[in-house]
Structure 1
Amino acid sequence: MALEQKAELRLTQKLALTPQLQLQLKLLQLPQLELSQFIELQLMENPMLELDEETENDHEKEVSEEAEEPVAVDKLEKIMIDEYFAERADDGRDLGYFNPGIEEKPSFELFYSTTSDLWEYLLWQLRLSKAPDEIRAVAEIIIGNIDEDGYLKATEEELAKIAETNIETVKKAIELVQGFDPPGVAARDIKECLILQIKALDLGNTLVQSIVEEHLEDIRKKKYETIAKKFNVSVDEVTKAVKIIEKLEPRPGRNFSKIHVNIPVPDVYVNRVEGEYQIILNDEGIPKLRLSKLYRQLFTEKDLSSDEKKYLKEKFKNAVELLRSIEQRNRTIYRVTESLIKFQREFFDKGISYLKPLNLKDVANDLGLHESTISRVTSNKYLACEHGVFSFRFFFSNALPSNHGSVSTTFVKELIQKIISEENPANPLSDKEISDMLKKQGIDVARRTVAKYREELKIPPKSLRKQKIIKEETE
């Protein structure tokens, strides 16, 4: 068969994402911090963008003045800019994020207490110490070798070499620092840390100290009878001693650590005002952009080369597309929040126990958007309301059957946690027993499902929750 070439006309359909749509999708899934970083990068790369540092009224005045004296650009660019400013005039001002009358939002960092630096705190105590200068000098080196959890990470030999002194002086310096607050600081291991705290409680040379010294592993495995037999005491006495040990701090530097904690930054605030909910999009920390008037005026220059005009038009188009995409992102997040309030009204009114089953498709159908769009909006974003700060995904959960209709898996987890918190520690409930209790409340949950939810809640199984309390037999 001879090979030949010929032209054919075929009609096919395929989905092509325009650069504008790709940008919108990208911005939609960016969390607050990454959005801010992306905008700052665009500011550096595109001369057509600049920070809008003026007040809202000044900005409106500028837009009005520019409308009276339009920039002499070609028809495409003129339509784009006119449409953009027309949208800004009536888009978000009634959505919350442009509302000048909103009461200033309290920073969520105010709800987190700040702590002193552990090393500064120890050095402050050292300065108040009346120990000899030689001991104090070595103690300062010791403090510098304590980690964030409060443990000494250098050996006596290493410290002696650094301080150019003898082991005896190092031991005295360690003893000095171990006498500082918090109790247990400068210990070399968990056992020494707990013993230091036990001595601070005047419980040295007691059953509590003996158990820590010889039976830490048996405590973890709850082998109380083995411990009781070893020290010839009752299991009840061992149980009381273990309760004291459990209250000790295995990481004495915990409350003094300055390790950065990632506090979720709310993308949306939902405030209840006179029985209705007000949605405020959080734009704090996000650079506010506007088109650069200076660079737009360059379009009017007659001595620009064709390459220069092409460059300016491209940057102008990219700038307008970015501004539009940011506005579109804000609109979509606002609409999704509205839909969440609609579906989860009882949660916002009464709390977590009233959270209903909900899936992405429900919200997508409600807003006339694709399910993938809702997935992008709810990814890595947080909502703050009077009940706390929640991930958007928190509001979506599967349904479980009950006598009163369907209930959310989140609510079932809350019930399981409540049931376990109220159980008898001497006779904890099995997963099957918890399943039976839920069924009595009209919620049909299998034993395996209970075990799965319990693990997700990081609750140990029955065998590890059991605390044996046996009364001492009298002869």
Structure 2
Amino acid sequence: LSSSGYLLASAEELAALAHCEPAAVAEVLERVQLFDPVGVAARDARECLLIQIKNLGYDRDPILRELVESHLEDLEAKRYKPLLKKFHLDVEELREYLDIIQSLDPLPGSSFGGGEPTYVSPDVYVYKMGNEFVILLNEDGLPQLQLSSLAQMDMDSASEKEKEYCAEKMRSASWLIKSLYQRQRTLYKVMESIVRHQRPFFEEGVTRLAPLILKDIADDIGMHESTVSRITTSKYVATPHGIFELKFFFNSGLELDDGSQVGSESVKALIKKFIAEEDPKNPLSDERIGEMLKERLKVNIARRTVAKYRTALDIPSSSRRKEHF
């Protein structure tokens, strides 16, 4: 199974491992897919949701079944008009179907931990010194390269071909050393720009993370977006608020009622905080979390958006959280 609870092997592969026919695997798989959490060992989201619908007894509704079987992409893209016309529904009836589908869990394994821990050594450190932030590069893993003294050996007796060969290798070595130095300089400039753009985060934490895109940093330091993208991939920074991947600082924005913006990661952090502080016997619904966000941030955020962010945080729905308690 994948970390999301999906089956990664085919019926034929499992049959070969168990020395049986694929039909026998299919029969057993149908039983396994009804284990808790229902939908585990499904091959994809469509099959996972159909299993849950059948388990709840909703499969008797042909419209609900076909929406899941054939129109998940339409629902995700909010292409509602063709569906209203095809199934002869009004908006409220379609909303009822959407509520049922959104109450299902497309990632039945996501609430269960697993896998080996990943240990991260930060590439950059950001410390606060007085009113300023100081950036230090972690160069422990970088070799201190220099040209060997052997490269300067006497070439008087060498042929022109040998001299050219040695000169070419020395140029390549010098280029490599300069490239490593330039890479560190670029990383420093990118981090310096991120600190400028995200200073409220470095001052106060994740809830103050501002909207930011690669182009903002690229324009600030006079480099191409692709360069910024490469230098921030799989790089980590140690901050006063924890260790984060550099890509974490790039996030979309939600517009507040006063016209300003708040970063999506800030909203996720608040959702995580609200759920961590909830009463386990009476967990917060996505709708209630949306109301709390509006009170705190003065931002209108749809229940569907709260559900999307909650799913991205690997947090189960309120009903699942209550069951787990």
Q: TM-score, normalised by structure 2?
A: 0.61
Cα deviation, residue 386, structure 1: 1.9
For residue 391 of structure 1, the aligned residue among 242, 245, 257 is 245
Q: What does 1:139-158 align with in structure 2 at a 5 Å threshold?
A: none
Distance 1:363 1:312, change over 3 A: same
Aligned to 2:299: 443
Aligned to 2:275: 420
Aligned to 1:344: 198
Cα deviation, residue 433, structure 1: 2.5
Distance 1:261 1:461, change over 3 A: closer
What is the count of residue pairs matched by the alignment? Answer: 216
Aligned to 1:362: 216
Aligned to 2:153: 297
Measure the CA separation in 2 of the matches of 1:389 and 1:419.
Answer: 22
Measure the CA separation in 2 of the matches of 1:426 and 1:270.
Answer: 40
Verify the 8 A CA contact 1:427 1:467 in the aligned structure 2.
Answer: no
| Greater length-normalized contact order (CA 8 Å, ≥ 6 residues apart) | 1
Q: What does 1:64-463 align with in structure 2 at a 5 Å threshold?
A: 261-298=117-154, 301-404=155-258, 405-441=260-296, 442-463=298-319
- Superposed CA deviations along residues 418-454 of structure 1, whole A, max 9, x for unmatched, are 2222333333232223223322331221111111111
Distance 1:313 1:356, change over 3 A: same
Measure the CA separation in 1 of the matches of 2:207 and 2:290.
Answer: 18
| Identity rate, percent | 45
Cα deviation, residue 282, structure 1: 0.9
Measure the CA separation in 2 of the matches of 1:275 and 1:431.
Answer: 39
Instruction: Kindly report structure 1 stretches of 4+ aligned residues shifted beyond 4 Å.
Output: none
Which blocks of at least 5 consecutive residues in structure 2 are unaligned? 1-34, 39-111
State the one-letter code of the partner of 1:365.
Answer: D
Cα deviation, residue 261, structure 1: 4.1
- Superposed CA deviations along residues 175-231 of structure 1, whole A, max 9, x for unmatched, are xxxxxxxxxxxxxxxxxxxxxxxxxxxxxxxxxxxxxxxxxx78x79xxxxxxxxxx
Task: Give the number of the structure whose alpha-carbon radius of gyration is greater.
Answer: 1
Let me know the Cα RMSD of the aligned residues: 2.5
- Superposed CA deviations along residues 321-372 of structure 1, whole A, max 9, x for unmatched, are 1011111101100100110111111111222221111111100111111111
Measure the CA separation in 2 of the matches of 1:316 and 1:465.
Answer: 63
Measure the CA separation in 1 of the matches of 2:305 and 2:299.
Answer: 12
Cα deviation, residue 272, structure 1: 1.7
Aligned to 1:9: none
Measure the CA separation in 1 of the matches of 2:295 and 2:189.
Answer: 39
Verify the 8 A CA contact 1:426 1:468 in the aligned structure 2.
Answer: no
Aligned to 1:174: none
Measure the CA separation in 1 of the matches of 2:311 and 2:195.
Answer: 30
State the one-letter code of the partner of 2:167.
Answer: K
Verify the 8 A CA contact 1:357 1:406 in the aligned structure 2.
Answer: yes
Q: Secondary structure at the match of 1:263?
A: coil
Aligned to 1:237: none
Q: TM-score, normalised by structure 1?
A: 0.43
State the one-letter code of the partner of 1:426.
Answer: K
State the one-letter code of the partner of 1:316.
Answer: M
Which blocks of at least 5 consecutive residues in structure 1 are unaligned? 1-216, 222-249, 470-475
State the one-letter code of the partner of 1:331.
Answer: R
